[in-house]
Structures are given as C-alpha cells and as structure tokens.
Amino acid sequence: MSGAPIQLMSFKAIGLILLTILCFDVMSILVRILSADYSAQELSAYRNVFGILPSLALLIWTGELRFKASALNVANPKLALGRGVVVAFAQLFFYSALSQLELATVATLGQTNAFFVVILSVLYLGEKVGIWRIIALVIGFAGVVWILRPGSDAFSLVAILPVAAAACYAFAMVSVRKFGPETSNGLLYLYSSLGSIIGAIILAAFTTEFSPIHSWADAGLILLMSTIGGIGVLLMMVAFRIASPSVLAPFWYFGILTAGLFGWLLFGEAPLDTLFPGVLLIVGAGVLIIWRERKRS
C-alpha cells in the first residue's frame, strides 16, 4: 500500500476522533444535567440499553441485520462481549466523576487514556515505542500527578475515577484492532453494546435502586444522551480500526479545550487553579508525540 492512501486513512481517522470528542462532550453535558435526579448507575444502564440503537441502525442500513445465526457470527465473541463489559465499568466511573467534578477536570484526567492506549498497544498489540514516546508518557504522567496532588489536602479519591475510566476505554480502543476487516463495524458494535447492557444492568442492580423517570423531558434527554454516546463510541471504534492507536491517541487532547469551553459557558466552571500547570505537561506530552510522528514520517 502506497504512502498516500495510508495518509488519507489517517486523516479520516483523525476526523472521526474529533467528531467522537464532540459526541462525548454533548453526552457529558447531558449526564451532568441528569445527575441531579438520577444516579450514575441508572444513567449508565439507560445509556447502554438505548445506546444500542446506533448499531442496529447501522446494521439495517448495511443490510447485515438478518435473523440467522450465521449472519451474527463474529470472530472471538468472548472478546467482542468482554469489551462491552469493560466499557460498562468505564461509563460508571466516568458518570460518577461527572456528577462531582468540573467538566474540564474530568476531561483532563481522562486524557490519561492516551498513556494507556500507548502502553496497551505495546503489551497487547506488540507495537514498538521509541524513546521519545516514552519521554512523552513520563511527562504526561507527571502532569496527571500534579493535578491529582496525592498526599495533599486537595487530593480526592473521586479524581481517580476519570483515570480508571480512561484505562477501561483504552482497552476498548486497542482491543478493537484484534478483529480483522471481515468483521463489520456494526456487528462488532452490536456485540459490544450487548456486553455493555449486561454489565451496566448487573452493576446497577447490585449498587442502586432505579427511580421512575420524572418527565417526558427527562426521557427525551436520556434518549438523546444514550444515542449521542452510542454514536460517539461507534465513530471511535471505526477510527481505531483504520489507524494505529498510538497515532490517534494524541488528538484526544483536543477534548480538554472543548470540555473547558462547554463547562465555562454552560456551568460557569473555571478550575484553572486545579488544572495548571499540570495540564500543560499533559498537552505538551501529546505535542511531543505528534512532533515525533511527523519527523519520523
């Protein structure tokens, strides 16, 4: 394959990642609004039950939704379902953090998924990581520690939740490359959605009680949150199937800017004292990786 098609696919994947970030921002805003009346476990369960709609729509559009066992077969079904269960844990951690922390703080700490993606790309996919990327990971990790401030009065266990969510999401991103091109995106996402539904319902059943939906407006917001989140995951999955995770990971840093902007405009949040200067190290680590990738190309 020539260099031009590879470069074109990379740009396409980067565009999909940016759209993914926008979808996750909208979902986060809706979770923040709904968390005043519903627990993180409830919202996660709703998100997964209704979030299956995008995958069903894609399967109908591609003509793959056929009620035959052979049409629904997928290579390594345990991994396909297991990815969904891991995502259910990620959502529970992520939604719990959104209800207690500023959007920008959650987004910044969530950028640790770039570190986990690179690490898992080495351990799980066997990719090679050079000294520059290792330096970038160390710098980024130092920024996260600076924000968390472990051992100080400012440290909060809640702040670990976005990091835990990032690790789970990173596994979902990296493991998708274990499936070959013969496995369709819609079918793979359907398996992941089923795994997420099972995981989220079990987690909610053992940790909380479901409250009735208060109004049709809430029902509409829950449906929108679920659908937007489902579309975001689908876009992310497609992006990581057509480009290397270690190449796409740095572009997640764009989410810090968008989350900070939305948090400021909609909720009056400006956690500058908490984020600086640690956020500069995290962003600097991403810039270093991007610079190295361009130089190597």
Closest-CA residue to 48 (of 225, 220, 215, 219): 225
Residue 71 DSSP one-character state: G
Cα angle for residues 47, 49, 53 (degrees, 5° grid): 90
Number of domains in the chain: 1
CB contact set of 13 (below 8 Å; sequence gap of 6+)? 238, 239, 240, 242, 243, 247, 248
**pLDDT (0 to 100) of residue 1:** 47
Rg value, the chain, Cα: 19
What does the block give as tokens for 168? 């789970």
Q: pLDDT of 39-68, one tens digit each?
A: 999 999 998 888 777 767 766 776 655 545
Q: Mean pLDDT, to the nearest integer, of 82-92?
A: 90
Task: Give, as one character, the DSSP assignment of residue 157.
Answer: G
pLDDT digits (tens, 9 = 90+) for 207-227: 888 888 899 999 999 999 999
Q: Judge contact between 285 and 136, C-beta under 8 A.
A: yes
Q: Which domain holds residue 115?
A: 3-296
| Predicted model pTM | 0.78
Angle at 193 between CA 16 and CA 60, to 5 degrees: 75
pLDDT of residue 26: 94
